[in-house]
Chain A
Amino acid sequence: DVKVTQSSRYLVKRTGEKVFLECVQDMDHENMFWYRQDPGLGLRLIYFSYDVKMKEKGDIPEGYSVSREKKERFSLILESASTNQTSMYLCASRWDRGGMNTEAFFGQGTRLTVV
């Protein structure tokens, strides 16, 4: 089975802290994604990566950055956490099949609270 593992299930951080969310996948997927999920809004794409060291902004990249130094690992960084970044963060990965959007596999999510 494909496994996408996020480093934390729950995090509580203080305003202004730098926060790292880690995601590891074990299926050699090319593409990895970070979403945030808020009630009534659906999933919103923060950043995605289609290869090592390659990244693209999603719909809501402000206040976030990402790092992909190895194919299996994709990190989301909150440069200076703010209370409006309190949310559920979801990492996903999928194979790249020539532009066709294959199904994505998600991690269990990290519920981040910024106080």
Chain B
Amino acid sequence: EDQVTQSPEALRLQEGESSSLNCSYTVSGLRGLFWYRQDPGKGPEFLFTLYSAGEEKEKERLKATLTKKESFLHITAPKPEDSATYLCAVQASMDSNYQLIWGAGTKLIIKP
């Protein structure tokens, strides 16, 4: 069964303390992995798409990487405004062109 698991469920960091969020997946034929950010009471906001193992993308303090089994979202020297829930989603195969498999998210809290 196709599955996406995010860890940890919640992560509390001090401002400036770098860390990583994990998204592990078991799917038949990865066609794309997506990272989103969701602020409380709002819809998810797109961050990155990764398509193949070894690919990396960066945006400000965030860097996403991809292997054949998992993706990491690295956050470097985070600020309180980086606090949000980070969601990972995977497109698995040609049979599910329109469907993504979503993880439950990691709630990131950055304390000043």
Contact = CB atoms under 8 A, between A and B. Distances in A.
Contacts of A45: 99-100
Interface of B: 4, 31-32, 34, 41-46, 49, 87, 89, 91, 94, 97-100, 102-105
Given A42-B103, A42-B105, A100-B32, A4 B94 contact: no
Contacts of A33: 98
A2 to B, nearest CB: 9
A81 interface: no
17 contacts: A4-B43, A31-B98, A43-B87, A43-B100, A43-B102, A45-B100, A58-B99, A92-B43, A101-B32, A101-B91, A101-B100, A102-B49, A104-B100, A105-B46, A106-B44, A106-B45, A108-B42
A109 B104 CA distance: 17
Main secondary structure of the interface of A (DSSP, over half): strand
A62 interface: no
Contact of B43 (A40, A42, A106): A106
A91 B104 CA distance: 18
Given A105-B46, A106-B45, A109-B43, A99 B104 contact: no
